[in-house]
A = this chain, B = another copy of it.
Amino acid sequence: MPTVIQPSDQEVPLSARLKAVLDGDFADARDAARQFIARPAMAPVAPDTPKEEYREKTLGWIKDMIAAGFTRMPYDPAYGGTGEREKYMNIVEVIAHQDMSLAVKQGVQFGLFGMSIESLGTEKHHAKYLPDVMSGKLLGGFAMTEVSGGSDVQGISTEAIYDHKTRSFTLTTPNEGARKAYIGNAAKHGEMMVVFAQLKMGESGENMGVHAFMVPIRDKDGKTKPGVTIDDCGHKVGLNGIDNGYLAFDKVTVPYEAMLDRFAQIDDAGTYQSEIKKKSQRFFKMIGTLVTGRVFVSMVALSGAKNALTTAVDHAENRKVFGETLMDKQATQSRLLPHLANTYALHFMTRHLMDEYGKGNEYLETMAAAVKAKSSDSAMKVVDEARMLAGGAGYMSEQRHGALRADMDVFRTFEGDNTVLRMLVAKNQLSRLSHKFKAATGVQKVTRIAALKMKSLFGRFNAESGKTDPAHFIDPAFQNKIFALRERSMIYALSSKLVKIAKAENADVAANKCQNDMIAYADAYAERLMMQKFIKAVNAQKDPEVKALLKDVCDLYAVQTMRQNGLWYVENGLMKPQTTTALRRLERHLTEKIRPHAKTLVAAFDIPPSVLTCIPAPAVPPAPPKQNGP
């Protein structure tokens, strides 16, 4: 295990000191994970590996993770875990550099499956299942999404009918659209699923809402259980190391104990009990587990972006075009370095999400949703840009750009579609805001309060709107202020618009007519958080060289984001046209300033070179020579 580098140690190279900052408290664990993925057995798969072979390879890597002792980390020591969830997340973030299917498959097994049992189940479930989950003896998955349901998970159609006589539940898929869809570990490896279904009481027929049940789908010998139909999702755009499948249930009966009954129980008299009275509140409490998934996606998407940035900077520094180095070209710098700054911003943001984990931060769900959308979108753009920058070479599969893009594509969809998540962010924030308005539900009152709030925000800012001095834009106080101002004024404007349209038409029309504003708001919210956390990270540095470099990267994040939102600032009177022009100049200046450090900034990611490319599969035996031409 390499010695932990102290950020203040001036003897070591800047990239190593920066790496220590990025690795934070988990430097040892992350280095162990780096050694783990650098082993020859973990060379990235050839891109044309048949999916059957890839699936088995991924399962083998899961077993390696188990053997390395990683997979006990997220669980309670009472059941054989080591209670180090944050450490485990850091390890997985590093493992994602090597293979996204592995990162996601472990997420299905140890996150979605195991964590559902831990957080939705009770002691009996923990004792019975958790040891086998972390040892891999019991492979499983998380069966929530349905074909027709999509993002509307509360509206799923799978039914679990409770029969008190036999004290059992009978699960049924009422129609084709109710089949569970895209379920990881379903097509091949999973033995048991956490199945989400509408719980209906047999006697009364009353629907108690969505509940989760432990449902065996296969025998130990791989035979599908009676009443269960499993279909393979087949080849996918990416992540072909995972065996996604469709599941249907035809009167599959499970005992009472199959219900994960932490938040609701059925007593011996057959009466449904729950401390949470409202059906939808119960539902949202239950799917709180999804927050983990969103933090996870935010992190592993960044891992992919870091691979792409490392490869792209390396390419640009070595490639000569028309006699010059590609990295020296203005266009290249503008294509790569703002993305690099943005990736750093997201890195510090995801550290914050993890820090807040388990502290009961009431904003965690909202933050995770906003950051997941931002991180996955951003990572896709980075990988795409790296592919293009590498020209023809980037189109060869031995560069991993194509595979990474295909794998990471789905990060924008699963664990919550990014568009739906952005609307969730806005809805959550609007709902918080409504507390501020208190009794002021009338249109006039809401719009008046919103107008007053905005006037007060803008008024304090007015004098600064025409400033074009670079020192002004890189002042952290200004940065925090203008990002917060944008976010807050957008939510006030949104609340005003919503109540106005709702009064003139109705609430549904209002919600629909504000979708684009809600989406824009969610990004402003994420950007404000990223700005705050980046500034905090810069301030925390002791090493002057590290601090100075991070400050420039932080400023490039700040300035590019302000420039991208320039029209909004101008339209809202918060910037003058000369201000946005000055921002563009400053963005260019900061890009040039960072350019000599491009190598250092990607070296700090410290990705084992062996996982940056993949060796093509051995060629198939050549076909017998044949006559050319038709």
Q: Residues on A close to B: CB < 8 A?
A: 46-48, 50-52, 59, 62-63, 66-67, 132, 135-139, 145, 147-148, 150-152, 155, 181-182, 189-191, 218, 220-223, 232-238, 240, 319-323, 328-331, 334-335, 380, 384, 387-388, 391-398, 401-402, 406, 409-410, 412-414, 417-419, 423, 512-516, 519, 566-567, 570-573, 577-578, 580-581, 588, 616-617, 619-620, 623, 625-630
Contact = CB atoms under 8 A, between A and B. Distances in A.
What's the number of copies of this chain in the assembled complex?
A: 2
Among A67, A139, A335, A630, the most chain B Cβ lie within 10 Å of the Cβ of A630
Contacts of A182: 392, 395-396
Contacts of A516: 330-331, 334, 588
A189 B626 CA distance: 9
Given A395-B182, A419-B331, A322 B235 contact: no
Given A395-B182, A419-B331, A48 B46 contact: no
Given A152-B322, A319-B150, A567-B567, A191 B392 contact: no
Contacts of A329: 512, 515
A491 to B, nearest CB: 18
B414 A387 contact: no
Contacts of A240: 48
Nearest to A146: B392
A512 B388 contact: no
Contacts of A52: 620, 623
A222 B623 CA distance: 10
A402 B406 contact: yes
The 5 closest A-B pairs by CB, nearest first: A237-B402, A222-B625, A63-B630, A330-B515, A235-B397
A142 to B, nearest CB: 13
Given A50-B48, A150-B391, A402-B238, A233 B331 contact: no
Contacts of A406: 402, 406
A387 to B, nearest CB: 7
A391 B629 CA distance: 43
A394 B580 CA distance: 38
Given A63-B630, A329-B512, A234 B580 contact: no
Contacts of A588: 516
A334 B515 CA distance: 10
Given A232-B619, A234-B616, A396-B234, A388 B412 contact: yes
A573 B571 CA distance: 13
Contacts of A132: 629
11 contacts: A48-B240, A62-B630, A135-B630, A136-B630, A138-B629, A139-B629, A150-B392, A221-B625, A388-B418, A516-B588, A570-B580
A247 to B, nearest CB: 14
Contact of A191 (B62, B150, B572, B629): B629
Contacts of A418: 388
A44 to B, nearest CB: 13
A5 to B, nearest CB: 35
A331 B628 contact: no
A388 to B, nearest CB: 6
Nearest to A417: B391
A447 B195 CA distance: 71
A78 B113 CA distance: 71
Contact of A414 (B237, B392, B401): B392
B331 A395 contact: no
Contacts of A387: 237, 409
A233 B238 CA distance: 21
A235 B48 contact: yes
Contacts of A331: 419, 423, 515-516, 519
Nearest to A239: B395
A498 to B, nearest CB: 13
A221 B627 contact: yes
Contact of A235 (B47, B221, B514, B581): B47
Contacts of A628: 138-139, 189-191, 218, 220, 222
A413 B394 contact: yes
Most buried by B among A240, A409, A412, A566: A409
B222 A626 contact: yes
A137 B629 contact: yes
Contacts of A515: 329-331, 334
A630 B136 CA distance: 6
Nearest to A403: B237
Given A191-B628, A236-B395, 4 more contacts: A48-B240, A391-B413, A394-B413, A395-B410
Contact of A413 (B59, B233, B395, B617): B395
A412 B190 CA distance: 41
A220 B148 contact: no
A396 B580 contact: no
Contact of A155 (B150, B322, B392, B625): B322
A398 B570 CA distance: 45
Contacts of A335: 419
A150 B389 CA distance: 11
Contacts of A237: 387, 394-397, 401-402
A398 B332 CA distance: 36
Contact of A391 (B151, B190, B401): B151
A395 B190 CA distance: 21
Contacts of A566: 567
Contacts of A330: 512-516
A613 to B, nearest CB: 12
Contacts of A626: 221-222
A577 B571 contact: yes
A245 to B, nearest CB: 11
A63 B627 CA distance: 14
A425 B135 CA distance: 61
